[in-house]
Amino acid sequence: MQSDTQAWAAVGVALYATDPERKIAQVRALRWPLALMPEVAAPALSDMPGRPAHPLLVSPKNLPKRRALHTRAGRFALLHALAHIEFNAINLALDALYRFPGLPEDFYRDWLRVAQEETEHFVLLRQQLRRLGGDYGDLPAHDGLWEMALDTAADPLARMALVPRVLEARGLDVTPAMRERLLAAGDAEAAAVLERIECDERGHVAVGTRWFRFLCAQRGLEPDRTFTTLLQRHYRGRIQGPLALPARRAAGFSEPELDWLQDRAARPTAGQPAAGVHHD
């Protein structure tokens, strides 16, 4: 990691930008190694990222029920939820860059790439929303992704375990079915966007796996046991199946981890929300 704080000013400015267009432009402009910005004060680390006033954030139980995907409103609601996930994912990747000092340079290269790919995912989904006659912010959303970011803000090991390897990994499980449903509804353009996102997300989960295992090795921890311990300590939902086993293996999940997750998915706890950030 570069030692000069001013080199990180551009990352902080992008992280705390509230206007989506400004955030997109700033993330696209980031390059490694980060350039010194003596004319810009590096923002102070904050618990809350930059985001627009809308969408209005509500409890998941207060979100309107989804309509069928053969309707414009149903497809718009699904794509809006996914756009909200991707906007949060931009902030999560930037926060990993900005919050956790002292890690190898490749950690920051990886998360900069993830931030830029998540930005393109958001742009693609926003284009689909506009094609359907609306825009990001038109519907309410929930803040579950960022709540987990706050819960893991003190430790990069917990962040790597819980955000990419639990919340984002859920997208590997559910995106193929969503894509098929969009195709069945006659929306091949939106389905193609989800296929692009799914391909990239495998790599993002793999980045989380890479640095989770690096941090386990650095601390002398057994990774499989550490993953399940952290999940039980921090995650208050339930694991929902079926799991996309080939995709999860490609993203670095071990067989003991998959066995543990499948066992939990087979016996969900009543009254708890399902794991994941992609809701169908």
Q: So what's the pLDDT on residue 61?
A: 85
Rounded Cα gap, residues 8 and 15, in angstroms: 11
Q: So what's the pLDDT on residue 37?
A: 82
Q: So what's the pLDDT on residue 41?
A: 86
Backbone torsions φ then ψ of 54, nearest 5 degrees = -125, 140
| Domain ranges across the chain | 69-266
Q: What is the pLDDT of residues 55-67, one digit of tens each?
A: 999 998 888 887 7
Q: So what's the pLDDT on residue 7?
A: 85
As a whole-number percent, the residues of the chain with pLDDT over 70 amount to 94
The residue-averaged pLDDT of 227-249 equals 93
**Band (267; pLDDT cuts 50, 70, 90):** confident
Q: So what's the pLDDT on residue 277?
A: 46
What is the DSSP annotation of 48-87?
S----S-SPB--GGGSPPPPPTTSHHHHHHHHHHHHHHHH
The residue-averaged pLDDT of 177-194 equals 97
The answer to whether 152 touches 234, Cβ cutoff 8 Å, is yes
Rounded Cα gap, residues 10 and 15, in angstroms: 9
Measuring CA to CA, how many Å separate 232 from each of 65, 146, 216, 237?
Answer: 29, 18, 17, 9
**Band (237; pLDDT cuts 50, 70, 90):** confident
pLDDT at 275 over 70: no
The residue-averaged pLDDT of 147-171 equals 96
pLDDT at 155 over 80: yes
pLDDT at 84 over 90: yes
pLDDT at 272 over 70: no
Q: Cβ–Cβ contacts within 10 Å for residue 201, how many?
A: 26
Q: So what's the pLDDT on residue 2?
A: 45
| Long-range contact pairs involving 20-25 (C-beta distance under 8 Å, separation at least 24) | 20/52, 20/87, 20/122, 20/126, 20/136, 23/50, 23/90, 23/119, 24/119, 24/122, 24/123
69-266: CATH number = 1.20.1260.10
The answer to whether 41 touches 10, Cβ cutoff 8 Å, is no
Q: What is the pLDDT of residues 103-125, one digit of tens each?
A: 999 999 999 999 999 999 999 99
Rounded Cα gap, residues 259 and 189, in angstroms: 36
